[in-house]
Amino acid sequence: MISYSSKFIMRLLAAISIVGMMAAVSSCRDSELTDETEFAVYFAGGTDIGPGQSMNLTAPTWKGQTPSDFKIYRITLDGELYETESFSIESETGIISIRNTSSLEVGLYSLSISCKSGGNYYEFPDAVTVNMMKPVPDEIKVEPAELVVSLETIRTALFDSELPTAQVTTDGDHITVTSYSIANVHYDGATIENKNYFSISEDGVISITMGNMDILPGVYTLDLKLTTAIADAESEEGIFTDALAINVTAPPMELVYSSSPARVEENYSHTSAAPQLTGSRDGIVYSIKSVSPESAASVFSVDQSTGVITLAEANGLPIGTICSVSLTVTNDYGTADFDDVYNVTIVDFIAPITEFSYEPLTIIQGQEFSHEVSVMDGDEVTYAFGESLTSELAKYLSINETSGAVSAEHGHGLPMGTYTVPVVATNIKGSMATSFSLKVDRNRYYFTYVNWGNNLGLAPAENYASQFRFEARGNGKFPIAATDIPAELISEIEWDVNVLSGGRPLTVDQATGEISVAGRNSATTPRVDAYIITATAGKGQPGETSVKIPVFIHTTGAINGVTVEYTPFVFQVNPRTGGTSVPATITGGPGDMSQFLMDYRRDFDYYNVDGPAEHVNGRPGAGTDRFMYRLWAAYADATGATSVNTGARTPMSYYENEANLAVALGYVRPSDYAVVINPGRWVDSYGYANGIMIGQMTFSTIGDESDMTGTASQRILPMAIWFDTDFTNE
């Protein structure tokens, strides 16, 4: 490294803290950190970034002559030299980009920057710091770790009553948590639907719903989901199991034995199934209250902790005797009697199990089924899966213990293949094991994509699928260019067209899938329109499959003699990482293109495709429930605005954010009119954008920002921005 005199070396402190992905620029400086020349540069440092996250830092500001030829000449990690291509800097603007960070180590990165100004070379050692933090907490705590509340209190609680709550806390040394949610609720070892039993606030306070009449006593265990800029609502990262136990207490309320009534052969022993108790298990004790007839009392017993009832062998009860057992159940919260809760009839003979089998079963992917026993020769049989049942089968299959029916719910995730399902049948005479073959075949209705190519000459077509450009009166027909729908199934597909924006008619041939685009009878404002075509195979069948395919049409033409075209005109971008579109091609503009200005102006329409249901369609001003409103509100918060101006272009304007471009949602870059989407901005507490935004741009041909007023002679909608976290922009 060439050394320079201290006159030309300045050390600046990072002057920014980005909290929750929002940037702020410092305009102050320590005079002791600059030399006596008239030149100084002020950078911004980034904090609270996690591996896998991308962002752009704010462009530097300076005092003196305009700097250029920015370079990063050294990177250190926790003070040690470090080589990486994850940090880059634009030579002319000094904007630092952070990309491809998935493999970066956690720690503090320092970037040393150089530039030229007025013919001089300047170095700024450790000018920018980036704190790469853990993507999710290593440790999550909920305080207290258990909530105890009586069922009566929950059911009778009024809105001014206080039920116990718990607070989520983390170790703090990780990327900012933007929201909390309940991922799963477990009750008695099984995952259940929450049914509004419990809720969690944006700041991690877990509450029990007051006045809930459906909740049952017992211990509920909650898995929590923490959403960060790295782990969104759809990610498996950030899920913390068994985070909180909620013990809903109650005295014994109901007792049910699935094996009652039972038939038992003369002088044979018999053991019941464990009962289902509604009530707390804390301090549980079962005892026999009475047996009818009283002469049978001595041959019945109950396990005090499990409630399993046993009839002794060689019990001497005559054939035809009907015995009824009553129990008393006590727990830490009370005592209850359950009369005639278990019944046994003594018979002369129980047939042993001599034959037991199922027929083979073939299903398609995700098909629900209930597979019955085909042959059973034996009496009073109970059923259970055999010990060799694999964990994969156990995840999706269940068995009825009294009928032996094996079942799976619709949409189960068993992959294609052939499985062996083991089942054991048992009665008082013994047991017999069998198994059946379960074959999961391909769903003939299953498919994943359709595209119609493009008429822009872009290749490979699948990367730029289903976008078409026409003059106002232009039209065309386009057969399916590529799909994984089996050829024999094409004619069975149901096609549905949902017009998201604009008015150019688009139809689909129901027999072939060919799309037809009609022309317009008159000239129209140049614009991009979006449609969603839904293709459905096997409508109403077990394997029904639907796929949504966005289709885009650009009606091109000149406005005030100027034509603006992007090719492709659909900007596919990952909202996590952001990205930059192709530059615009301008024809008919001024001879001096430095006089051509273009900026986003108004009519920011968002259309949800496959994002969270809470990402409601519409413009920022259409209601506070709209996704775009929340983005405008986040921008207002980041810039310190006291209110949300839903009619403003500011969040998408270059000229309104020129001093701090990193805070914008996106903008039109004036050097080449490419559209820049900043990373980590198109997201709210429900998750990242997965949809389409079309906004109006305006232009000026005289180099005057105030001339971009949005009059009819300057309005265009030349681009659709399609957000999807599956897109790769790095």
With 0-12 / 13-18 / 19 or more C-beta atoms within 10 angstroms meaning exposed / middle / buried, residue 209 is middle
Looking at 2.60.40.2720, 2.40.50.140, 3.30.300.30, 3.40.50.720, the CATH number of the domain 443-459+475-552 comes to 2.60.40.2720
What does the pLDDT average to over 513-542? 86
Query: Is residue 326 within 8 Å of residue 309, measured between CB atoms?
Result: no
DSSP β-bridge partners for residue 219: 247
Q: How many C-beta neighbours within 10 Å does residue 540 have? A: 6
pLDDT in tens, 472-481: 888 899 999 9
Q: How far apart are the first and last CA of the chain?
A: 31
Say which CATH architecture domain 6-132 belongs to. Sandwich (2.60)
In the chain, where are the structural domains located?
6-132, 140-249, 254-347, 355-441, 443-459+475-552, 558-730
Give the range among 9-23, 68-82, 634-648 with minimum mean pLDDT. Answer: 9-23
Containing H/E element for 634?
Answer: helix 627-639
Q: Which residue has the higher pLDDT, 635 or 176?
A: 635
Six-digit token pair at 503?
């008015």
User: Which amino acid would we find at residue 294?
Assistant: E
The pLDDT of residue 135: 62
Q: What is the pLDDT of residue 229?
A: 61
Amino acid 501 reads: S
Of the ranges 29-38, 267-276, 557-566, which one carries the lowest mean pLDDT score?
29-38
CA distance 155 to 150: 9
- Between CA 386 and CA 727 the distance in angstroms is 45
Burial call 277-309: b when 16+ CB within 10 Å, e when fewer: bebbbeebebeeeebeeeebeebbebeeeebbb
Q: Domain 254-347, what architecture?
A: Sandwich (2.60)
Q: Region 304-316: what's the mean pLDDT?
A: 96
Rounded Cα distance between 229 and 714, Å, is 37
Lowest mean pLDDT among 240-244, 381-385, 642-646: 240-244
How confident is the prediction for the chain on average, in pLDDT?
Answer: 85
Low-confidence winner among 101-105, 320-324, 392-396 (lowest mean pLDDT): 101-105
Q: Which CATH superfamily is domain 140-249 in?
A: BT4661 domain 1 (2.60.40.2710)
Distance CA 156, CA 162 (A): 11
Q: Is the pLDDT of residue 50 over 80?
A: no
Helices (H) and strands (E) in the chain, counts: 3, 58
Domain 558-730 fold is Immunoglobulin-like (2.60.40)
> Hey, do 6-132 and 355-441 end up sharing a CATH topology, with the first three levels equal?
yes
The predicted model gives 354-382 an average pLDDT of 94
| Both tokens assigned to 111 | 């970037």
Per-residue pLDDT averaged across 717-730, rounded? Answer: 85
pTM greater than 0.85 (yes/no): no
* Average pLDDT rounded to a whole number, residues 126-136: 78
Q: How far apart are CA 554 and CA 562, in angstroms?
A: 16
> How much is the average pLDDT of 686-694?
91
19 pLDDT more than 80: no
Q: What is the dihedral of CA 369, 375, 381, 386, to 10 degrees?
A: -60
Residue-wise pLDDT tens digits, 630-686: 999 999 988 889 899 999 999 999 999 988 888 899 999 999 999 999 988 898 878
Report the percent of the chain where pLDDT is more than 70: 89
Q: In terms of Cα–Cα distance, which of 163, 207, 159, 164 is closest to 182? A: 207
List, in order, residues 6 or more apart from 384 with CB less than 8 Å away. 399, 401, 423, 424, 426
Q: Is the pLDDT of residue 168 over 50?
A: yes
**Residue 14 predicted with pLDDT over 90:** no
Confidence band for 232, pLDDT divided at 50, 70 and 90: low
CA–CA dist 609, 304 (Å, integer): 57
Do you know the residue count of the chain? 730
CB 63 within 8 A of CB 39: yes
What whole-number distance in Å separates Cα of residue 665 and Cα of residue 648?
Answer: 13
Choose from 125-139, 326-340, 449-463 the range with maximum mean pLDDT. 326-340
pLDDT score, position 521: 63
| Amino acid, res. 500 | L
Q: Does 3.30.479.30 match the CATH number of domain 355-441?
A: no
Q: Residue 103's pLDDT band (boundaries 50, 70, 90)?
A: confident
pLDDT at 390: 93
- Please write the tens of the pLDDT for every residue from 570-608: 999 998 888 999 999 999 989 899 899 999 998 999 999
Query: Whole-angstrom Cα distance, residue 730 to residue 728?
Result: 6
